[in-house]
């Protein structure tokens, strides 16, 4: 009986050995298994929001017009260029500037323009207020004006408009671009005021929000003008210039020191200077003012034009 038991045990061991040998085939004889798919981590939703480029045509002017707030602007004295008489003082110089900008556009891509100066008080905000109005005096033109001076926003005072919601509220994520915009009685012109006062303007401007804003709204307009803080004391204007096509410098006649004007120019060495506006020129030193004033007087009197 024990011999039978031993024989059965040996047979069982031999079968186990054969099964093990058959499972250890040479690598060349083993069938190749398909590679397992590699798991790829999906990006965080926040990364998609900040890095994904905006699709062109995402917004239309009609959508902005329908959704933005309608305000009864009450312009400061001398700021309502859109309703000024054709022969009002300074109007012809603004027409000339408008023409020059279109000429520059013929040689380079130019739509988003930063209006800058080296120091406060050189007339930069005045130009920011009046130039877009001169643009939209041409029928069918559309212009957007953004107050990029988050430290001391003043454009809403020039327009007699509410200061918020505006750019700072958009950059903080409190409102969308439509809620931050407003329009008034000037056809074709929209304003984005500075917005609610903030303690960290440089950090807001340094983020991706301003780039995202202009990428979304610029296709709706012929021109986008951004008013900026003075370029020499702080770096805000330099950061805003990163989203602009060019810089329009304002210099106060007989006041701006040459070295400071040069420093301001160097702040924008990475961007083309599309022009320099000499502001506060005395009337008797301006040939163009004299010529167009005389021309307007003669035209109103019906007299023949003389050289």
**For residue 148, is pLDDT > 90?**
yes
Report which of 175, 225, 211, 215 is spatially closest to residue 196, judged by C-alpha positions. Answer: 175
3-state secondary structure 122-170: CCHHHHHHHHHHHHHCCCCCCEEEEECCCCCCCHHHHHCCCCCCCHHHH
Per-residue confidence (pLDDT) for residue 121, from 0 to 100: 87
Name the helix (H) or strand (E) containing 178.
helix 177-180
What number is the average pLDDT over the span 205-229?
96
What number is the average pLDDT over the span 225-254?
92
In the chain, the percentage of residues whose pLDDT exceeds 90 is: 57
**For residue 301, is pLDDT > 50?**
no
Residues 82-119 have pLDDT tens digits of 887 777 778 899 999 999 999 999 999 999 999 999 98
Residues 26-49 have pLDDT tens digits of 444 434 444 444 443 433 333 333
Per-residue confidence (pLDDT) for residue 112, from 0 to 100: 98
In the chain, the percentage of residues whose pLDDT exceeds 70 is: 73
Per-residue confidence (pLDDT) for residue 254, from 0 to 100: 81
Per-residue confidence (pLDDT) for residue 257, from 0 to 100: 85
The C-alpha atoms of residue 209 and residue 49 are separated, in whole angstroms, by 10
Residue with tokens 């505006």: 166
Per-residue confidence (pLDDT) for residue 40, from 0 to 100: 37
What beta strand segments (E) does 5-147 contain?
Answer: 69-70, 112-117, 143-147
Report which of 223, 224, 268, 270 is spatially closest to residue 250, judged by C-alpha positions. Answer: 268
The sheet carrying 223-227 orders its strands as 69-70, 182-183, 189-192, 143-147, 223-227, 112-117, 246-252, 273-279
User: What's this model's pTM, rounded to 2 decimal places?
Assistant: 0.74
Q: What are phi and psi of 76, to 5 degrees?
A: -65, 165
The domains of the chain, with CATH numbers, are 55-112+120-222+288-298 (3.40.50.300)
Per-residue confidence (pLDDT) for residue 169, from 0 to 100: 97
Residues 256-300 have pLDDT tens digits of 888 888 898 888 988 999 999 988 776 655 444 444 444 444 444
N- to C-terminal Cα separation, the chain? 141
**For residue 159, is pLDDT > 90?**
yes
Per-residue confidence (pLDDT) for residue 196, from 0 to 100: 96
Per-residue confidence (pLDDT) for residue 243, from 0 to 100: 96
Mean pLDDT taken over the chain: 80
Give 226 or 269, the one with higher predicted confidence: 226
Give 132 or 58, the one with higher predicted confidence: 132
Which two tokens mark 77?
């004295």
């Amino acid at each position: 009986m024990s011999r039978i038991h031993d024989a059965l045990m040996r047979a069982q061991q031999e079968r186990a050995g054969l099964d093990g040998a058959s499972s250890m085939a040479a690598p060349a004889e083993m069938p190749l298994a398909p590679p397992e798919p590699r798991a790829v981590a999906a990006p965080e939703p926040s990364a998609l929001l900040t890095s994904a480029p905006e699709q062109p045509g995402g917004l239309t002017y009609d959508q902005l017009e329908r959704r933005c707030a309608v305000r009864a602007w009450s312009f400061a004295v001398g700021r309502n260029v859109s309703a000024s008489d054709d022969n009002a003082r300074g109007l012809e110089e603004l027409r000339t500037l408008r023409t020059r900008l279109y000429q520059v556009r013929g040689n380079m891509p130019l739509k988003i323009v930063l209006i800058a100066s080296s120091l406060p008080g050189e007339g930069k905000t005045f130009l920011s207020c009046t130039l877009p109005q001169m643009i939209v005096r041409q029928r069918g033109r559309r212009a957007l004006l953004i107050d990029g001076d988050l430290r001391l926003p003043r454009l809403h005072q020039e327009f007699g408009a509410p200061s918020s919601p505006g750019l700072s509220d958009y950059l903080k994520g409190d409102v969308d671009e439509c809620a931050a915009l407003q329009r008034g009685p000037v056809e074709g012109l929209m304003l984005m005021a500075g917005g609610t006062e903030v303690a960290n303007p440089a950090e807001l401007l340094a983020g991706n929000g301003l780039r995202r804003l202009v990428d979304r709204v610029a296709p709706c307009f012929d021109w986008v003008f951004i008013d900026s803080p003075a370029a020499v004391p702080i770096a805000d204007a330099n950061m805003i210039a990163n989203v602009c096509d060019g810089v329009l410098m304002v210099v106060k006649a007989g006041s701006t020191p040459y070295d400071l004007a040069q420093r301001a120019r160097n702040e924008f060495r990475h961007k083309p200077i599309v022009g320099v506006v000499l502001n506060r020129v005395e009337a008797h030193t301006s040939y163009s003012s004299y010529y167009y004033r005389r021309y307007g007087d003669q035209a109103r009197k019906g007299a023949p034009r003389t050289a």
